[in-house]
Structure 1
Amino acid sequence: MELKEFIRFLNRLEQNDIFYKLDKIRNDAVLVEIAVSGQRWEVEFMEDGTVEIEKFISDGDFYDVKEIEILIKEFSD
């Protein structure tokens, strides 16, 4: 994907009031993190022109404050 297309993509997000932020976690890519109701997307624009999209979709469940301890216990090293 060319830079012009990348900028057009960001402009489309803005025009549609879709929240995003830019990040960089790989040496050869720019990450666009997108948040919409019930979903979060990671769209990576790679140096070679490829685009990878990963979607994280909510199961619709909500948890109370006790879930914090469960998450920390489960995902700590």
Structure 2
Amino acid sequence: VAEVLDRLNKLLVDDAMETAEAAARMVAVAGGQEPPEGPQSRFLSLLYGELVPLDGPGGGVRCTLASAGHPLP
């Protein structure tokens, strides 16, 4: 399962990067600039969450969140 999820995540990141790079080129051209060449700086933000059912008569869930990211450009 881990290997399949790893491949899926890599494909999703590749697709997102292609989309972001295409958008950056369009914005540059629309502003009268030359599209950037070569590798661009990349940023990644991540939010991860877990829901764990609670035992007991009241039930409920425990929600744990973790976030990671980058400083603003």
TM-score normalised according to structure 1 size: 0.28
TM-score normalised according to structure 2 size: 0.29
Determine which structure has the larger strand proportion and give its number. 1
Determine which structure has the larger helix proportion and give its number. 2
Larger CA Rg, structure 1 vs 2: 2
